[in-house]
Amino acid sequence: MSRISPNGTWRNWAGNQRSRPTLIGRPRTEAEVVALVREATANGRRVKVVGAGHSFTAIARTDDVLVTLDDLAAVVDVDHDTGRVRVEAGIRLFDLNPMLDAAGLAIPNLGDIAYQSVAGAISTSTHGTGLGFQGMATAVVGLRLVAGDGSVVVLDADHDPDLLEVARVGLGALGVVTEVTLQCVPAFNLHAVEEVLPLDEVLDGFDGWAGSTDHVEFFWMPHTGLALLKRNTRTSDAPPPARNRRHAVRRRWKRFKNRELMENAVFGTFNHIGRLAPALVPRLNGLVASEGGRAEYLMTSHEVFASPRRVRFYEMEYGVPAQHGIEAFRRVREHVESLGRPISFPIEFRVLGSDDIPLSTSSGRPTAYIAVHVFRRTPYEDYFRGVEAIMDDYDGRPHWGKLHFQTVGTLADRYPQWDRFQAARARLDPRGRFANEYLDRVLGPTGRR
């Protein structure tokens, strides 16, 4: 979670982004958001909104006016007939998902953490996995936002649907999102199978699994020949009855062992050891991978999609055309082995279907996502720049909330609808009220301050 200290300093979850805003606003209503934006306009100040602070980039960073939507976080309406749910923009996914499940509904696809706010997740193109599915923003069928002049803009099928398509992934550059309407689906469970396999077997078989399994991904532990393969199949089947308690407990223990012990407690300890004794990292990675074991269980979708993340890290993630994904991964693997220093965090590989949102990282093409991480406070530039150079060969698109070194000059040609987004930005925020250094870098400066 992001943190605002008593002295007014803000920092993100990973601790690599910090600022000391002139003013921190905590609106409880849309009207209060309007007042904040109009006051900032009168004073010639920029405005940035922060959700959970789970972005690694400086996308939310500002020394002017920082707005946190933590108090704008209610469920406004649930329409059981249509499956549409209206929520205030600051609601966290870990609060919303159980509420939806209790109402017999679910978001169609989710990423692998639930700490984010709804507005933050859609604005940065949070995606999840599954070639037959799309990122979370495609579930958005309505938005309310406060534009740069302080006006409230309503977007849905009856009110400027063209602008709605653009604003679903807005990077915080189009306005302050105050309310989101999500098109949900009937609640579903996932039959999950997680197992450690030889990496070469996973690479050779991945395309087949991706074509036959709803949601599939794998994690490779660097300097080992092993990968954790995760396959999730959607089902309306219920979890086993209580009479199978012994087997259910065993399944839950294996899942707890994989997720809480190996992915967090033990893994965190190993990273601290690896920082003090880097030569031990390959051996420690081997222990993590080999102890993952096999787990099979059936749970509600949101409980399977999201995993706890208690070990803090820095991350870069790129989306490349799906047909080049495995090739790009193999090159990243070679880069890791050539660094001359060990990498202690796994590399994640996922795939996703295409969509038509202008600044979605899967806009116009099925996409393979490759994510690299380092333990926080660990040097990463040579590692991440090397990965980015590989991704550039495939017109890779960086996750907007994760570390990268791109600029507007290198990004514009990678998005077929780039100009459509820029037109929306010029319309909603012609004076750059919601700009900051990061957005100036990746989108270009706009208007007068």
At 170-221, the pLDDT tens digits run: 999 999 999 999 999 999 999 999 999 999 999 999 999 999 999 999 999 9
Say if CB 289 and CB 196 are below 8 A apart: yes
pLDDT at 282 over 90: no
Q: SS3 of 222, please?
A: coil
Distance, CA of 166 to chain centre:
18
Confidence category of residue 254, pLDDT binned at 50, 70, 90:
very low
Q: What is the pLDDT of residue 308?
A: 74
Q: What is the pLDDT of residue 312?
A: 86
Q: What is the pLDDT of residue 266?
A: 62
- Taking alpha carbons only, the member of 313, 323, 406 closest to residue 359 is 406
Q: SS3 of 296, please?
A: strand
Q: What is the pLDDT of residue 441?
A: 98
Q: Does 55 or 284 have the greater pLDDT score?
A: 55
Q: Does 190 or 5 have the greater pLDDT score?
A: 190
CA 271, CA 342: separation in Å to the nearest integer?
A: 11
Picking from 43-47, 133-137, 242-246, 406-410, which range would have the lowest pLDDT averaged per residue? 242-246
CA 317, CA 332: separation in Å to the nearest integer?
A: 12
pLDDT at 317 over 50: yes
Picking from 68-82, 151-165, 268-282, 285-299, which range would have the lowest pLDDT averaged per residue? 268-282
Q: SS3 of 233, please?
A: strand
Q: What is the pLDDT of residue 174?
A: 98
Side-chain-side CA neighbours of residue 102 (13 Å): 6
Confidence category of residue 449, pLDDT binned at 50, 70, 90:
very low
DSSP class of 121 = H
Q: What is the pLDDT of residue 253?
A: 40
Torsion sign (Cα): 312, 318, 324, 328: negative
- Taking alpha carbons only, the member of 53, 54, 46 closest to residue 68 is 53
pLDDT at 261 over 50: no
Within 10 Å of residue 236's Cβ, how many Cβ atoms?
Answer: 8
CA 235, CA 250: separation in Å to the nearest integer?
A: 21
pLDDT at 74 over 60: yes
Q: What is the pLDDT of residue 1?
A: 59
Mean pLDDT score, 20-49? 97
DSSP class of 238 = P
364: its two tokens = 């116009």
CATH tag, 189-398: 3.40.462.10
At 95-115, the pLDDT tens digits run: 999 999 999 999 999 999 999
Looking at the chain, the whole-number percentage of residues with pLDDT higher than 70 is 87
The strands making up 18-19's β-sheet, listed across from edge to edge, are: 3-4, 10-11, 18-19
Confidence category of residue 274, pLDDT binned at 50, 70, 90:
low
At 287-316, the pLDDT tens digits run: 666 666 688 999 999 999 988 776 789 999
CA 176, CA 429: separation in Å to the nearest integer?
A: 11
| Residue ranges covered by each domain of the chain | 75-186, 189-398
Long-range contacts formed by 79-83: CB under 8 A, 24+ apart:
80/104, 80/105, 82/183, 83/183, 83/184, 83/185, 83/186
Distances from the Cα of 329 to the Cα of 219, 336, 403, angstroms: 11, 11, 18
Mean pLDDT score, 124-150? 97
Helices (H) then strands (E): counts for the chain:
14, 21
Pairing mode, if any, of strands 47-50 and 65-68? parallel
CATH tag, 75-186: 3.30.465.10
Within 10 Å of residue 426's Cβ, how many Cβ atoms?
Answer: 12
Residue 288: phi, psi to the nearest 5? -60, -50
